[in-house]
């Protein structure tokens, strides 16, 4: 069964290619959606996929790419939107 998560990542996550690496990880796991930088310095992600794929993606978000410092990740389940791929917004 597919699910939709809204994910917000807090920490030193803007300017470290977080969105690029998130897209690569999402593609690897079969997760669709998008990632964008927010004006408050967080990264916001909408992600859709299987339970297992989303669990693995969220675990990756808790660490992020090499130069990121993730302090906190907030996840909330929402209604499916039917994304076809994963984009950097």
Distance CA 49, CA 62 (A): 18
Please list the pLDDT of the chain residue by residue as tens digits (89 residues): 899 999 999 999 999 999 999 999 999 999 999 999 999 999 999 999 999 999 999 999 999 999 999 999 999 999 999 999 999 87
Instruction: Check 19, 56, 78, 88 and give the catalytic one.
Output: 19
Instruction: Check 6, 8, 17, 37 and give the catalytic one.
Output: 37
* Catalytic (active site) residue 23: no
Architecture of domain 2-88: 2-Layer Sandwich (3.30)
| Crossing angle (nearest 10°) for helices 51-61 and 18-29 | 160
Domain ranges of the chain: 2-88
Are 45 and 9 within 8 A, CB to CB?
yes
CB atoms within 10 A of CB 19: 22
* Res 76: pLDDT: 98
* Res 89: pLDDT: 79
* Catalytic (active site) residue 19: yes
Strand partners, 47: 5, 33
Global pTM reads 0.96
Distance CA 68, CA 50 (A): 26
Task: Write out the E strands in 1-89.
Answer: 2-12, 32-37, 43-50, 69-78, 86-88
What length does the chain have?
A: 89
């Amino acid at each position: 069964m597919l699910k939709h998560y809204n994910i917000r990542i807090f920490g030193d996550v803007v300017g470290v290619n977080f969105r690029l690496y998130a897209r690569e990880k999402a593609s690897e796991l079969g997760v669709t959606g998008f990632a964008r930088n927010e004006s408050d310095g967080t990264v916001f992600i909408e992600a859709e996929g299987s339970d297992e794929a989303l669990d693995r993606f969220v675990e990756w978000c808790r660490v992020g790419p090499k130069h990121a410092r993730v302090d906190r990740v907030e996840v909330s389940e929402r209604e499916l939107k039917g994304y076809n791929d994963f984009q950097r917004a």
